[in-house]
Chains A and B, each alone.
Chain A
Amino acid sequence: MSEPLLELKDIKMYFPIKEKVFKKPVNHVKAVNGVSLTVRKGETLGIVGESGCGKSTLARTIVGLLEPTSGDILFEGESILGYNKKQMHELRRDIQMVYQDPYTSLNPRMKAGEIIAAPLKAFKMTSNLNERVYELLDLVGLKREDADKLPHQFSGGQRQRIGIARALALNPKLLILDEPVSALDVSVQAQVINLLEDLQEELGLTYVFIAHDLSVIKHIADKVAVMYLGKVMELSDSDTLYHHSKHPYTNALLSAIPLPDPEKERQRQRIMLKGELPSPANPPSGCIFHTRCPIAQAFCKQHIPVLEEKDGNNPNHQVACFYPQETEAIVNSQ
Chain B
Amino acid sequence: MLEVKNLKTYIDTGSGTVKAVDNVSFQIEAGETICIVGESGSGKSVLAHSIMQLNPSPPVFHPEGEILFEGKNLLDLSEKELRRIRGNEISMIFQDPMSSLNPVFRVGDQLIEAIRSHEKVSKKNAKKRALELLTDVGIPDPERRLYDYPHQFSGGMRQRVLIAIALAGRPKVLIADEPTTALDVTIQAQILELMRSIQKKYETAIILITHDLGVVAQIADKVLVMYSGRIVEKGSVSDIFYRSTMPYTWSLLRSLPRIDADASNRLIPIQGQPSNLIDRPKGCHFAPRCPFATEACLEIDPALTKRGEGHWAACILSEEEFSNKKQELEVYAQKGAVK
Contact = CB atoms under 8 A, between A and B. Distances in A.
A125 to B, nearest CB: 31
Interface in B137-190: 140, 154-157, 184-190
B268 A190 contact: yes
B337 interface: no
B259 A242 contact: yes
A191 B241 contact: no
B187 A187 contact: no
Interface residues on A, range: 35 or more
B238 to A, nearest CB: 6
Given A185-B39, A256-B189, A262-B241, A50 B184 contact: yes
Interface residues of B, number: 50
A258 B257 CA distance: 12
B253 interface: yes
B301 to A, nearest CB: 21
A191 B156 CA distance: 31
Contacts of A254: 259
Interface in A239-274: 239, 242, 252-266, 270, 272-273
A186 B211 contact: yes
A187 B241 contact: no
A112 to B, nearest CB: 15
A215 B238 CA distance: 22
B268 A273 contact: no
A194 B266 contact: yes
Contacts of B213: 186, 260
A265 B237 CA distance: 12
A333 B270 contact: no
B255 A257 contact: no
Interface in B249-266: 251-253, 255-263, 266
A197 B237 CA distance: 33
B257 A218 contact: yes
Contacts of A188: 269-270, 273-274
A239 B252 CA distance: 25
Closest 9 CB pairs of A and B: A258-B214, A190-B269, A50-B184, A260-B213, A190-B267, A191-B269, A190-B255, A185-B39, A256-B189
Interface of A: 50-51, 155-158, 185-191, 193-194, 197, 212-216, 218-219, 238-239, 242, 252-266, 270, 272-273, 275-277, 331-334
7 contacts: A187-B251, A187-B255, A190-B268, A194-B267, A219-B263, A254-B259, A257-B185
